Amino acid sequence: MQETIQIHNETDAIVARQRGRDMARRLGFSVVDQTRIAISISELARNMILYADHGEVLICEIRDPQGEVGLEVQVVDNGPGIADLEQAMSDGFSTSNGLGMGLPGTKRLMDDFVVETAPGSGTKITIRKWLHARYM
Amino acid sequence: MQVPILKMNDVLIVTLGNEITDEEAIRIKQDILVKIQDTGCEGLLLDISVVDLIDSFMGRVLNEIAEMARLMGCRTAISGMSPQVAITMIELGLKLEGVYTALTVERGFDWLRNT
């Protein structure tokens, strides 16, 4: 299962989070985990619109080497990149009048959280949730 | 999507739906404030029992509605938050401060009427 959603505005972000929730439900995630995934997609897609104007969200089913099922979301843009990642990851920090909880908040909601970014070369954020609790 | 604002015994009651767009949320906020002025109601009940997600934008809108209503002289209660919404709001770091919360519409209504 894989889906790609182009993000240009907040309505696209809502579509992306609905698709993420739907896939999480099909994979057997609990309602709380479905909501964690959906809210994370919402925050990251909104961040992207704010800082990079547009980009895309890829949602796919994954398996680890032991065959464990997970859901992975990639939020990718070609925007300005994040100059100070440590600062961006601190609670309450925002350079754009946002609420400043997008990145650290999303990290708390998910099992894996990886940021690849450099000034001028865009940002790719990969988040994952694993179906079974031993990963929690 | 037009969200009805009901008036019952000097309390305005609004049921927020699922997957409200940003534009709809901003319009609902304005409609509620105008309705407070038009009716003179001193209580506002926002029922969110069917809302399946509150992200930072929606959290900000709810806080703004409650604070703006307070400035006008109207108290706000929020009712019916589901466990998954409460869990994800706290994990994300969102707060609803200064807003009375109630398990059900009935309890929120009673609080607005009786305190």
Mean pLDDT of B1-22: 90
Q: What is the pLDDT of residues B97-107, one digit of tens each?
A: 889 999 999 99
Cα-flanking dihedrals φ and ψ of residue B37, to 5°? Answer: -65, -45
Listed by number, the residues of chain B in 5-34 with a beta carbon closer than 8 Å to a beta carbon of chain A are 19, 21-22
Q: What is the DSSP string of chain A?
A: -EEEEEESSHHHHHHHHHHHHHHHHHHT--HHHHHHHHHHHHHHHHHHHHHHS-EEEEEEEEE-TT--EEEEEEEEE-SS--S-HHHHTSTT--SSSS-S-HHHHHHHHSSEEEEEE-TTS-EEEEEEEESSGGG-
State pTM to two decimals: 0.91
Decide: helix, strand or coil at residue A111.
coil
Q: Give me the count of residues in chain A.
A: 136
What pLDDT, on the 0 to 100 scale, is given for residue B3?
84
Any A CB within 8 A of B52 CB = yes
3-state helix, strand, coil in chain B (%, to 5): 50, 20, 35
Q: Is the pLDDT at A11 greater than 90, yes or no? A: yes
CB contact under 8 A, A32 and B83: yes
CB contact under 8 A, B88 and A108: no
- What is the band of A39 on the pLDDT scale with cuts at 50, 70, 90? very high
Mean pLDDT of A87-112: 76
- What is the band of A102 on the pLDDT scale with cuts at 50, 70, 90? confident
What pLDDT, on the 0 to 100 scale, is given for residue A136?
47
For residue A31, the surrounding DSSP H or E stretch is helix A31-52
Q: Is the pLDDT at A135 greater than 50, yes or no? A: no
Mean pLDDT of B4-33: 93
What pLDDT, on the 0 to 100 scale, is given for residue A84?
81
Q: Please give the residue of chain A at the shortest CA–CA distance from B20.
A: A14
Q: What is the pLDDT of residues A54-99, one digit of tens each?
A: 999 999 999 999 999 999 999 999 999 988 888 888 776 665 555 5
Q: Is the pLDDT at B81 greater than 80, yes or no? A: yes
**Average pLDDT of chain A to the nearest whole number:** 89
- Name the residue with higher pLDDT: B1 or A28: A28
ipTM of the complex: 0.91
The Cα–Cα gap between A126 and A34 comes to 17
What pLDDT, on the 0 to 100 scale, is given for residue A133?
57
For residue A50, the surrounding DSSP H or E stretch is helix A31-52
Any A CB within 8 A of B88 CB = yes
Provide the shortest C-alpha distance from residue A66 to chain B (in Å). Answer: 29
Q: What is the pLDDT of residues B29-73, one digit of tens each?
A: 999 999 999 999 999 999 999 999 999 999 999 999 999 999 999
Any A CB within 8 A of B40 CB = no
Structure token pair of residue A55: 């980009």
What pLDDT, on the 0 to 100 scale, is given for residue B60?
92
Q: Is the pLDDT at A14 greater than 60, yes or no? A: yes
Residue B88 is nearest to which of A35, A46, A99, comparing CB atoms?
A35
